[in-house]
Amino acid sequence: MGTINLEEAKIKVDDEWLSVEELTQRIQEKMETGDMKFAGLASALEQLNHALENSRTLEISTVLTRDEYQRLKEIGGGDDRECVRQAIAAFIGSSGSAEANGKKRAVIRCSKCQTLIEIPPGDERPSEVKCPNCNAVGRLKAKHG
């Protein structure tokens, strides 16, 4: 997968940043000239479209102390937007989630509202769970094996 810059809606192809429109134009130019070697461009276009369809833009405003701001800049290499993006990714665990580490999360659906409820693994597993959405309480069957 090529490097994608979601903020600018571009993907890096052969050391050049291209938008959806530029990729489409290059593919069309190749087709018009009879050059059918555009699989790499088509793949990049598909990757970029997929990334753009599965992303959301957050408009935020926050106030930090000077020290907090300096620590944030150290994390992201000086670019404010990148700093915030990396801090959010670190906070929500996008790179260190249980699934990324090869561990499966145990979840059940609330019998009342169908909200997903995460079940703690191993010895932390409770006999009762409470739905965080509707406060319904349910019992878990004993885990065998």
Share of the chain above pLDDT 90, in %: 30
Q: Is the dihedral of CA 79, 84, 85, 89 positive or negative?
A: positive
Tokens of 140: 């878990």
Does residue 26 carry a pLDDT above 90? yes
Q: If 0-12 CB within 10 Å is exposed, 13-18 middle and 19+ buried, where does residue 46 land?
A: exposed
Q: What is the mean pLDDT of the chain?
A: 80
What digits encode the pLDDT tens for the residues 95-139?
444 444 445 567 777 888 777 787 776 666 667 888 888 888 888
Q: Residue 34 — very low, low, confident or very high, per pLDDT cuts 50/70/90?
A: very high
Over range 8-24, report the average pLDDT. 93
What digits encode the pLDDT tens for the residues 50-67?
999 998 888 888 888 998
DSSP for 46-114, please give it: HHHHHHHHT-----------HHHHHHHHHHHTT-HHHHHHHHHHHHHTTTT-TTTTTPPPEEEE-TTT-
Phi/psi at 12 (5° precision): -90, 120
Spatial separation of the C-alpha atoms in residues 13 and 45, rounded to whole Å: 10
Strands 106-109 and 16-19: unpaired
**Scanning the structure block, which residue is given the tokens 């134009």?**
25
Share of the chain above pLDDT 70, in %: 81
